[in-house]
Amino acid sequence: MAALSERKIAIVRTLVESAPDKVVGSLRQALAETSDESALGGVKRLVEVEVYERNLRNTVLQPIAPMCVGAGDDPHKLTFPSRVLGLVWRGVRAMDDAEDITVVRDAAEHDTPAHVVTAAEDRLTVLAAAGVRAREQKDFRAAAEICDQARPGGADQLAACLEIAPIVRRATQKLPEWLAHPGGETAAGARVAYRDAVTADDDAGPRFFEMLSAQMAHPWMVLRVISAVMDKPTERYLGDSEMAGFGEGLLADIDAALATIAGLKADAGPQAGRSAAKLAELVVQQIMEIETCVDLQREHGWGHRVHKQRASLAGVVEGRLREAEKATMDALPVQPPRNPRIRRQVPRLGVAPDRRLVDRAVTLLSFSDELRSTANYGGFSSARNKMVERLGEYVDHYVDEVLDLIRTDEVEDVGIASAYLEHAALLDQLIRGGKAGELIRRRAHAALHPDGS
């Protein structure tokens, strides 16, 4: 098969250069087994060059790279349009004499000392900051205009971020230690980095923390660094400072998560149930974080709001647990016995299981199952344990009754009874763990196949 023409390769190059990093990475994986002599060999080489160039770009512009996402107009945090990263890099490429880029590119091959590489990266970001402010080179000018369109003063914000990029780069290297071991020497290091940032620019404080949070898997954990710098501030002090947005933003995220958990629908499926439970776990972590990092007063302000959020989380979760209990009983229905002398309810095996009711129970029990490790810290351990105990007893009684009916040959349709037992095993597995479900399956097999087949 003939290779693609130069015109088609140029079209592909334009598409690849404008694609997000994840798309380019996926394309590289898809073409990994492609032969260089095949029709797509040229595309493979093009993609590999693009991946290499992006890795170099992301290394040099690492302090701002994770901030360049989407349209760059997020009202809650400082971001820039995703296109800006590529434009700034092309501007650096055009303005640099290639010496600093070469140092970074060949660092591993030449075993270049880390401080030499870092110095080269810092010079490149300073060059980028100057280029964005001057707007003389076409790529820098385009980046500045796009930033200004995304938010007022966006270009100035981008340039200011690039100017303190050397400080953020060094702070980022220490972030794992600052987050894992707050206090003591790590707190002192955070204070020094912050002081360097505000020395470079009086207004750099919030920007410094915005840039650090963008480097974190959980951006809200930047509160630990803020707390270290401000020596665990009171909520009033932090709330009256220019850092107040970080606390307010976290509290708003918690409110949004609570609304999502409260909106969980039983028909949404087990994955939705587990996602809601993981969101509850995140809320617990976030509440503990703000309680640890800020000196709160329970009677007013943020402290009162956090107290209400804790109560709201417990109430929302307990509501879902009550729904799970009812849904399980609906999926394994019982009815009054024909013999009036028998007071206990017996399984209703006259009709086949309602798959929708079973699915609803699975969704809500998946939510409960995913809460195992969170319940103690979230304040709803007692409610969950009681639900597990009640449902465990219900399922045990249900299974015992069905098995007795099978053994005494009082079941009209063994297939229906077998289906109910399988559903009971599935639900009990979510209630009490995998071994509980396997036990029901073994007992069902023994009752259905008494001859041992």
b or e along 78-93 (b: 16 or more beta carbons within 10 Å of the residue's beta carbon)?
bbbbbbbbbbbbbbbe
pLDDT digits (tens, 9 = 90+) for 20-72: 666 666 666 666 667 666 666 666 676 676 777 888 899 999 999 999 998 99
Mean pLDDT computed over 299-322? 93
Domain residue ranges in the chain: 6-60, 254-448
Average pLDDT, the chain: 89
Q: What does the pLDDT read at residue 193?
A: 94
Distance of CA 310 to the CA centre of its chain: 21
Q: Report pLDDT digits (tens) over 112-165.
A: 999 999 999 999 999 999 999 999 999 999 999 999 999 999 999 999 999 999
Mean pLDDT of 327-341: 85
Size of the chain, expressed as the number of residues it contains: 453
- pLDDT value of residue 107: 86
The tokens describing 219, both together, are 């951006």
Tokens of 209: 């923390």
The token pair at 430 is: 């979510």
More confidently predicted of 256 and 33 = 256
Q: What is the mean pLDDT of residues 225-254?
A: 92
Q: Are 412 and 350 in contact (CB under 8 A)?
A: yes
Q: How large is the average pLDDT for residues 102-119?
A: 89
Rounded Cα distance, 16 and 65, in Å: 18
Weakest mean pLDDT among 92-106, 130-144, 346-360 = 92-106
Whole-Å CA distances, 345 to 156, 334, 407, 427: 73, 6, 18, 19
Cβ neighbourhood burial of 185 (10 Å; 0-12, 13-18, 19+): exposed
pTM exceeds cut of 0.85: no
Per-residue pLDDT at 1: 45
Query: Rounded to 5 degrees, what angle do the CA atoms 95, 96, 100 make?
Result: 165
Backbone dihedral angles phi then psi of residue 234, each to the nearest 5 degrees: -70, 160
Q: According to the model, what pLDDT value does residue 314 have?
A: 94
DSSP single-letter state for residue 411: -
Least confident interval from 7-16, 307-316, 331-340: 7-16
How many C-beta atoms surround the C-beta of residue 348 within 10 A? 13
Lookup result for tokens 């990263």: 85
